[in-house]
Amino acid sequence: MPASKKPDKEIKDEKTQLLIEMTASFSNEYLDEDYKELCEKLIRKMARKRNVPFLSGRIEIWAAAIIHALGSINFLFDNSFEPYASTDDICNFFGTLKSTTSQKGKIIRDMFKMKYYDEEFSTTYVSENNPFSEMTMMNGFFLPSDMLSIFKNIVLKNDLPDENGYGATHEKHHKKMEKSLDTSQTSLDAFK
């Protein structure tokens, strides 16, 4: 091995640290401590991939894309939210193009299956204000979780007839409804 070539781990560690510093610098100027921590968490997770994505390409593009990916799922680009930053702010800070930044941001979001109200990568504010955290799905409809127990009591205890005229005490109907109600409580885990 030539003396001038650094080992892959050393290069990865240097780029990881550089990305953390770059995103922290942007976070200090435009964002908050929450974003700063999420950026570092995402960078470290990327560094653990078998094929570390930021080992190739301009490091500035990856820094911008990391903030863009996190901002996309946390409403960063909505000026009614705090903190707010535009894609232009990100691109001007890092000297990158909008199209390149958003394309790399999408790659990152796809890589980690990031989505709105993501449990792992949502800011504290977004997590606390998740409209789906108190919801459950039943027969394709979203219901507040506290209504599920009320509905369960009405259907299973008040002997309401079904479409065939059987009351809730009818054994087959009772078991079917109970199973439907019990499994519906976990239907919204993807949004929590």
Is the domain of 124 the same as that of 107? yes
What local confidence, expressed as pLDDT, does residue 179 receive?
58
Give the tens place of pLDDT for each residue, 22-40. Answer: 999 999 999 999 999 999 9
pLDDT of res. 174: 53
The number of domains in the chain is 2
pLDDT at 192 over 60: no
**pLDDT per residue as tens digits for the range 125-163:** 888 887 777 777 767 777 777 776 676 666 555 555 556
Q: Are residues 66 and 123 in the same domain?
A: yes
Residue 3, in any domain of the structure? no
Q: Are residues 58 and 98 in the same domain?
A: yes
Q: Which of 128, 148, 164 is the last residue of a domain?
A: 128
Same domain, yes or no, for 119 and 145? no
Residues 167 and 108 in one domain: no
Kindly state whether residues 24 and 105 are assigned to the same domain: yes
86/101 same-domain check:
yes
Q: What is the pLDDT of residue 168?
A: 47
For 128, phi and psi rounded to 5 degrees? -70, -25
B/e letters for 99-115, b = 16+ CB within 10 Å, e = fewer, are: ebbbebbeebbeebebe
Last residue of a domain, one of 113, 128, 143: 128
Q: Domain limits at 35?
A: 8-128
CATH of the domain at 34: 1.10.472.10
> What angle, rounded to 10 degrees, do the helices at 171-184 and 145-157 form?
170
Residue 1 pLDDT greater than 60, yes or no: no
Coil, strand or helix: which one is 142?
strand
Single pTM value for the model: 0.70
